[in-house]
Structure 1
């Protein structure tokens, strides 16, 4: 793994909070006004717990704060939204009047009624006026939530029987005929799900119960029923569905077994699945999930709120392939180095797909090794100002022809220069190609469409394609397979249409796929597997040929003449564009015939050149 700069301070100026519903500055000001509470310093392994005196619903909230060793006392952790700081209610803590928001007050009332009287709640158990203590406690969030006997996730007061309707549905839901979309919509509309910090709180807790008004539902029940909803395409159109699905998926990945927490989720995936959550402090989009990732401490060893978001993004350490992650439909920002992942752009557009897909079709999970076996090892350097990433590698080829652009609002124009030729000329040209024969070229084109990977299952998405898929390619424009294609998204259909007229060695793609002499038909399952595996449109890729005659797919923003380079530490080729004093990174590419290190293995390591990525 390339060691990007580890120039971080130790959480200087860090702060807890960062949800859409919370005015954090007002929250801190409220805490500063709590001068009546005497907060004694915490020892290294101590936390404070809040004990609520029992009482009737109409009785005031009276509490005491006390110190305890984190493992010495059974307590319940509270996960909640702070709420509107302008709508406050007084409670009594250690004989002092303390204002809390209406939402927290309602949570404390219900917790007391449900007999949860020994609790940990950040707003009161952390001295918010003491920066040193606040920073230290933030670093302990993982232990605080994991050690809690239970975490109560307060969704808010039930103001219209929505909780009863929703929780009863999710408790009883077994069959699709039982679907109650009003119940689902009610749950998805809860503001609690928008907070970035709740992802860590839910994922790190050993036991979670959602409390909405008087009604309860376990995290396990919600996860199980949401897994069933994934089989219903209509669910994806509901506002909030994707956000909650991402939260539950991260929690499931972190919990490897009952009662244990051991994260299998990496930072890149966590950032992807949480891309739709909100944070008033943008840095919390990163810092709020570090504690639940398997590589967060390594990638961002010392988060620092004192640094700009762009600096943090630039210095995040990840496998080198991560620098190719972007929103391919949009040109890169000119005010940000081209090698920096523009996470805010992905967050704003809610494009979690590119990140999720990138783990499967590029990077350490893809199985590609275009740049040798040592994908995680690379020697990278930075310019003195930290704006230029200096990597090493080889120029392999240049982009010669590209299939046309196809996104909405773009003019249908062809960038390729190839022209139709006779069958004889095509065969003769194929024999001169890197693939050596017509059969070799045919196989290369077929495998390029699926990047030599086939959908296997939801847990292990891609495996190397078998030879039987060439039979499906021959029937790609048959009536049966066209029916399957029409069931794919409109975006995929546009990409497929754009590629169908692309000339490869003088023949259009659909001419390569058409075999009128073929009488062997593929099974429906195999045909569907082939269509599901086609990479056209996924991450907005486009077909290309190179100057040396290779066939492949390239980034949507690629242009003819761009360089295809193999960079030490990456798993896939990268497309670079010369600029003043160096190169701009365009994105990644698939080039059939070099993805397993065939070209890399023949190169002299002493002949590597440096690329200054700007």
Structure 2
């Protein structure tokens, strides 16, 4: 609690990390064709301070469902007690914001590693999804308390925020909470101002949980709020949890050496329609994409129709079919991926424009705060990162979620006439030459030198961009669709599934045709369709709104 107060005071200063830690960066080797830049964090604070912060943040209090109703009606000045110590809630908020801030990735890692250790974290992430709860070894330690505090004093309107609207935020908090009765995931948030004005449900514990889920979904949809469809827990296919790993190899170099397949998420097992969120089954592990409200088509909103609690008829645009998909994980058990369908032409134009569309797609075209990423994030296209990785970026997840792992598995994915390897490495044709050979053949290895000799601020930008891409790509597939767009889709997506834009939903959805009906798979991102472009297409008559039956 003393540390919370200390960091809260430090957050008001110009350089809050000055007495906490500092980054050491030096060129150990700087030869024309070989550059080795060493970077590490030197901590100036006692380890027990970070252990105390970890102990506090990992308490089950922050994960309990009913805590949301305790915090939401309060104020930032509310006193928070732990033992005999007491600090204002605002001190906790400021400290957690500092951890999540620009340099906070390093502070957060020190807090987790102080207790778990680097090796312990690596083993935990390598064992995913073998029953490992990642909450205590991830940024959820501070992001969930921040979201709880930011739920305070929400106006009684459907107000949009930079990342997502307040209703969607409340749904996420409830979905990720711990509770003894799954029906409380709904009953526990009904009193929040953002939901109280649109959902009128009287808690009844005599009703089956499934009936409660259907009633809640219908209440949201009847008010034209379809962002609930983004929470659908579509299944995540099998990945291999063990692979050949000598001491000198830090990742599965070839999927053929992987074994012991295990299902990450089976999806809903209670027979609910795909448009109803099952609050009892495990949620999809992918982080939610930032909202793009201009894609919501509010002016086209129509009250949905329901048939026997099985079907829901809504209005939307069936935009296009998916024809190419990447593997969603370095050790995905299905060897058919990456899947290359028929060739399509990029709507983005030149190779440079396609590359920009690519890096904006893999980052969801947003920073963690929901703001558009700066053009400097294009540094993420540096071939060295994709071919060899970046050891200074989120080292504890780099083994299985790093960009180089995604690249190693998906080099043969074709994006508008070129493979991903050709696009990243700027090749005109596929060759067997190593990246080192190509760099030697370039102008005195200048490409490599530009990467290793970046300034401290440039390396920070690169870390932010890479971390965001790793976060967004995890458990998703990179896709292209027939009309030449690029995007992201849930891991359950297959070729032939359809990208749809539904009135009242802030992001496109992926639907699977089943006869004349459709099953919801989850949210997606389509670059070039997130800023209201669909409205212009409707006005021009190139697309049209139709009735879509969801089953």
Q: Fold match, TM over 0.5?
A: yes
- Distance in 2, matches of 1:572 and 1:186, equals 37
Does residue 524 of the first structure (1) align with residue 427 of the second (2)?
A: no
Q: Are 2:329 and 2:474, in contact at CA under 8 Å, matched by a contact in 1?
A: no
Q: Are 2:148 and 2:173, in contact at CA under 8 Å, matched by a contact in 1?
A: no
Give 1:340 deviation, angstroms. Answer: 1.8
Q: Are 1:256 and 1:263, in contact at CA under 8 Å, matched by a contact in 2?
A: no
Residue from 181, 196, 199 that aligns with 1:300 = 199
- Distance in 1, matches of 2:508 and 2:528, equals 12
Does residue 278 of the first structure (1) align with residue 178 of the second (2)?
A: yes
Residue from 333, 344, 361 that aligns with 2:280 = 344
- Distance in 2, matches of 1:232 and 1:198, equals 23
Q: Are 1:404 and 1:542, in contact at CA under 8 Å, matched by a contact in 2?
A: yes
Q: What residue is the counterpart of 1:202 in the other structure?
A: 71
Q: What residue is the counterpart of 2:220 in the other structure?
A: 317
Q: Give SS of 1:205's match.
A: coil
Give 1:402 deviation, angstroms. Answer: 0.9
Does residue 219 of the first structure (1) align with residue 119 of the second (2)?
A: no
Q: Name the CA shift for 1:596/1:490 in 2 (closer, same or farther; >3 Å).
A: same
Q: What residue is the counterpart of 2:416 in the other structure?
A: 505
- Distance in 1, matches of 2:177 and 2:500, equals 36
Q: Are 1:491 and 1:537, in contact at CA under 8 Å, matched by a contact in 2?
A: no
Does residue 392 of the first structure (1) align with residue 298 of the second (2)?
A: no
- Distance in 2, matches of 1:407 and 1:299, equals 43
Q: Are 2:324 and 2:341, in contact at CA under 8 Å, matched by a contact in 1?
A: yes
Q: Name the CA shift for 1:398/1:179 in 2 (closer, same or farther; >3 Å).
A: same
Residue by residue over 1:105-125, the C-alpha shift from the partner in whole angstroms, topping out at 9 and shown as x without a partner, is: xxxxxxxxxxxxxxxxxxxxx
Does residue 444 of the first structure (1) align with residue 357 of the second (2)?
A: yes
Q: Are 1:434 and 1:548, in contact at CA under 8 Å, matched by a contact in 2?
A: yes
Q: Name the CA shift for 1:550/1:387 in 2 (closer, same or farther; >3 Å).
A: same
Residue by residue over 1:40-77, the C-alpha shift from the partner in whole angstroms, topping out at 9 and shown as x without a partner, is: xxxxxxxxxxxxxxxxxxxxxxxxxxxxxxxxxxxxxx
Q: Are 1:255 and 1:263, in contact at CA under 8 Å, matched by a contact in 2?
A: no
Residue from 253, 261, 265 that aligns with 2:150 = 253
Does residue 585 of the first structure (1) align with residue 520 of the second (2)?
A: yes
Higher relative contact order (CA 8 A, sep 6+): 2
Q: Are 1:535 and 1:541, in contact at CA under 8 Å, matched by a contact in 2?
A: no
- Distance in 1, matches of 2:197 and 2:542, equals 29
Give 1:576 deviation, angstroms. Answer: 1.4
- Distance in 1, matches of 2:546 and 2:281, equals 32
Gaps in structure 2 of 5+ consecutive residues: 11-19, 21-43, 101-106, 116-132, 237-264, 427-438, 452-457
- Distance in 2, matches of 1:195 and 1:247, equals 11
Give 1:613 deviation, angstroms. Answer: 0.4
- Distance in 2, matches of 1:287 and 1:560, equals 38
Does residue 233 of the first structure (1) align with residue 109 of the second (2)?
A: yes
- Distance in 1, matches of 2:494 and 2:220, equals 29
Q: Are 2:511 and 2:518, in contact at CA under 8 Å, matched by a contact in 1?
A: yes
Q: Give SS of 1:548's match.
A: coil
Q: What residue is the counterpart of 1:406 in the other structure?
A: 329
Q: Are 2:57 and 2:142, in contact at CA under 8 Å, matched by a contact in 1?
A: no
Q: Give SS of 1:177's match.
A: coil
Give 1:371 deviation, angstroms. Answer: 5.7
- Distance in 1, matches of 2:529 and 2:546, equals 19
Give 1:512 deviation, angstroms. Answer: 0.6
Q: Are 2:314 and 2:548, in contact at CA under 8 Å, matched by a contact in 1?
A: yes
Q: Give SS of 1:447's match.
A: helix
Give 1:535 deviation, angstroms. Answer: 6.0
Residue by residue over 1:292-341, the C-alpha shift from the partner in whole angstroms, topping out at 9 and shown as x without a partner, is: x4411134233432543322442241632330224453354261111222
- Distance in 1, matches of 2:351 and 2:332, equals 37
Two-structure CA RMSD over aligned residues (Å): 4.1
- Distance in 1, matches of 2:140 and 2:354, equals 43
Q: Name the CA shift for 1:322/1:490 in 2 (closer, same or farther; >3 Å).
A: farther
Q: Give SS of 1:204's match.
A: coil
Normalising by structure 2, report the TM-score.
Answer: 0.63
- Further displaced range: 220-229 or 556-565: 220-229
Q: Are 1:499 and 1:542, in contact at CA under 8 Å, matched by a contact in 2?
A: no
Q: Trace 1:528-543 onto structure 2 (pairs within 5 A).
A: 528-534=463-469, 537-538=472-473, 540-543=475-478
Q: Are 2:338 and 2:413, in contact at CA under 8 Å, matched by a contact in 1?
A: no
Q: Trace 1:131-142 onto structure 2 (pairs within 5 A).
A: none
Gaps in structure 1 of 5+ consecutive residues: 1-166, 420-428
Q: What residue is the counterpart of 2:255 in the other structure?
A: none
Normalising by structure 1, report the TM-score.
Answer: 0.57
Q: Are 1:575 and 1:587, in contact at CA under 8 Å, matched by a contact in 2?
A: yes
- Distance in 1, matches of 2:3 and 2:89, equals 14
Q: What residue is the counterpart of 1:416 in the other structure?
A: 339
Q: Give SS of 1:462's match.
A: coil
Decide which structure has the larger Cα Rg and report it. Answer: 1
